[in-house]
Each structure stands twice: as structure tokens, then as C-alpha cells.
Amino acid sequence: MPEIPAAVRTLDNDLREVFGARVRSVVVYGIHAREAEHRHAGDGHAHGHGDDTPLVHTLVVVDALASDDLRTCAVRLTKWHDLGLATPLLLGSDEFARSLDVFPFELSAILADHVVVSGTSPFDGLQVEAADLRRACEVQARGHLLHLRQAFMETRGRADALAVLIVRSAPAWASLLQNVARLDGHSSNDRSAAARHVERLLAVTNGVEEIVKLAGVKEIPSADALRIFPGYLDAVERLTKYVDRWSQAK
């Protein structure tokens, strides 16, 4: 059993005070799940949350979830945040399996990178269907494409406004590329690797990884925006067509 960060153990204990025997599963997921697997005994102390410290994400499945439970959890939320924990993702056991087709990327990402803190694994006997992944990816791709076209018109040809549009859309583009990589059966934890996969997939060299690298950047020169955007828009159009025609039998 891998060492679990002390903050997550505290959360687990608090949840059992709130829900009692109704707690079925407590899962930590994301980068911290991978880190937990390599912790040594005694190293699992909690770190205070700073501006650059990623929050620890958890999934909690319970037999029943009432508004009184949420109010009780709300009282403890400041304490959990101070420990560096994100607000737990709470799901009733009856709705968890039904959520797989609605949130296929989110739940498949948790499935791929998680550690069970206590209880049983909520993923036993469950899997995310490729068709659900493809459909969710198409919704994301088409939404991104429509947003870019509409927002481009709203810039009214101003290069400074275009620069803002590119920077603000970069995180969503990076997320889309990671989901396409996951759809194709590749690891999506590395944004740059996912971008390079899509570049090879679409046979393009512009508008993919260059935009991903802008995620988190505050601003770019207007001249760069004018140079970047045509390739960016073309890449989004190509990727949308690819996802639309995607087949598991490739």
C-alpha cells in the first residue's frame, strides 16, 4: 500500500465523521496519486498550499448524499483548503456509474492515475467506453472551433485583441489535445507530448504545440498573434474533422 499524504488521511477521517459507514471509497488522483506511490514512511507530511503548489484532488463515493452532509462538509472546507486539498468531488454510489458516459474524460483520467485511500475501488467492473470518449472529444473540439471563429470576428481585426484571444484559449486547447491523445490510447499527462502526437496525426507543424506553450502566459506580442492565429485555426479545423471521423478500428 503506497504512503498517502497526511492531509488526505485527515480528509478521510473527517469524511468518516460526516458520513460514517456510508463512505464507500476515498480516492486521491492526479499527479499526487503518482507521488503517493513513491513516498517513504514518514515523508507523507502535509504541505501548506502556496500560490504555486498544486492542490491535491480527491474523489469520494458515498451510499447516500444529503444537503445536511454538504453543510457539514462546508464547515470543514477552510481546514481542507489550508491543508492543500481541493474541494472533494462527492458522488453518490447510485450516480457514479451513470456518470461515466457523461464525464468520460474526467473519470477516465482519474481511473488512469489514482490511489485508493480507503474503502473499495469505485472503478471495479467499470470502464469508459471509447464511443463516449469520442463523443465528448467531438463536443469539446467543435465548441473550441466555434468559439475561435466567433471570438475572432469580435476582435474586429485588432491584433492586440487577437493576442488576448489566443492566450485565453490556450489552456482549453491544451486540454483538448490531452483528451485526443487519451482517445488514441496515449498517455496524456504530458501536454507537450500530447501536442506532438496531434502534430504527427494532422501532419502540421504550426498552431499546435506553440499554442500549448502559451497556457499560463499572460500576454504575447500582437505581431506574434497575427503570425500564429491562421495555423492555430487550421489545426483546430483539422482536429475537429479527425475526431468526427475517428474509429476505434484503426
User: What's the predicted TM-score (pTM) here?
Assistant: 0.69
Res. 41: pLDDT tops 50: no
DSSP for the chain reads -----HHHHHHHHHHHHHHGGGEEEEEEESHHHHHHTTPPTT--------TTSPPBEEEEEES---HHHHHHHHHHHHHHHHTTBPPPEEEEHHHHGGGTTTSHHHHHHHHHSEEEEEE--TTTT----HHHHHHHHHHHHHHHHHHHHHHHHHTTT-HHHHHHHHHHHHHHHHHHHHHHHHHTT---S-HHHHHHHHHHHHT--SSSHHHHTTTT-----HHHHHHHHHHHHHHHHHHHHHHHT--S--
Say yes or no: do domains 6-119 and 130-244 share a fold.
no
pLDDT (0 to 100) of residue 250: 55
pLDDT at 18: 96
* Average pLDDT of the chain, as a whole number: 86
Q: Which fold has domain 130-244?
A: Four Helix Bundle (Hemerythrin (Met), subunit A) (1.20.120)
**Residue type present at position 151:** A
Looking at 69-73, 158-162, 245-249, which range is the least confident one?
A: 245-249
Give the span between the Cα atoms of 229 and 227, in whole angstroms. Answer: 6
Which pLDDT tens digit goes with each residue over 163-221?
Answer: 999 999 999 999 999 999 988 988 767 889 999 999 999 999 888 999 999 998 999 99
Point out the least confidently predicted range of 23-37, 77-91, 170-184.
23-37
The residue with cell 464507500 is 24
Per-residue pLDDT, 52: 54
Q: Please check the confidence at residue 113 and state whether its pLDDT lies above 90.
A: no
Specify the CATH number of the domain 6-119.
Answer: 3.30.460
139 or 36, which is more confident? 139
The CA–CA distances, whole Å, from 104 to 6, 201, 234 equal: 30, 22, 27
For position 35, what pLDDT does the model report?
Answer: 55
| Residue 202 cell numbers, joined | 494532422
Instruction: Give the pLDDT of residue 46.
Output: 41
User: For the segment 180-196, what is each residue's pLDDT rounded down to a tens digit?
Assistant: 998 898 876 788 999 99
Q: Which residues are within 8 A (CB) of 75 and not within 5 positions of it... i.e. 6 or more apart?
A: none
Where is pLDDT greater, at 126 or 166? 166
Q: CB under 8 Å to 208, separation ≥6 — which residues?
A: 177, 195, 198, 199, 202, 235
Residue closest to 36 by CA, chosen among 17, 20, 12 = 12
Task: Compute how many other C-beta atoms are within 10 angstroms of the C-beta atom of residue 52.
Answer: 5
pLDDT for the residue 53:
61
Mean pLDDT of 218-244: 96
Domain borders along the chain are: 6-119, 130-244
Tell me: the pLDDT tens digits for 43-60?
444 444 445 567 889 999
Q: What is the distance between the alpha carbons of residues 61 and 122, in angstroms, rounded to a whole number?
A: 7
